[in-house]
Amino acid sequence: MPLPTAQINGIVWDQVVVGDIVYAVGKFSAVRPAGSPAGQNESPRGNAMAYNINTGEILNWAPTTNGTINSIAASADGQTLYLGGEFTTLNNQTAWRVGAVRASDGQRAPLGAAANGSVKALSVSPTDRPSTSVAPSPRSTPRPVSASRRSTWAASS
Tens-place pLDDT, residues 73-120 = 999 999 999 999 999 999 999 999 999 999 999 999 999 888 989 999
Res. 122 pLDDT band, cuts 50 70 90 = confident
| Average pLDDT, integer, range 127-155 | 40
User: Is the pLDDT assigned to residue 139 strictly greater than 60?
Assistant: no
Range in 100-109, 116-125, 144-153 with the lowest mean pLDDT: 144-153
User: Is the pLDDT assigned to residue 2 strictly greater than 70?
Assistant: no
* Alpha-carbon torsion (72, 11, 23, 25), positive or negative: positive
pTM above threshold 0.85: no
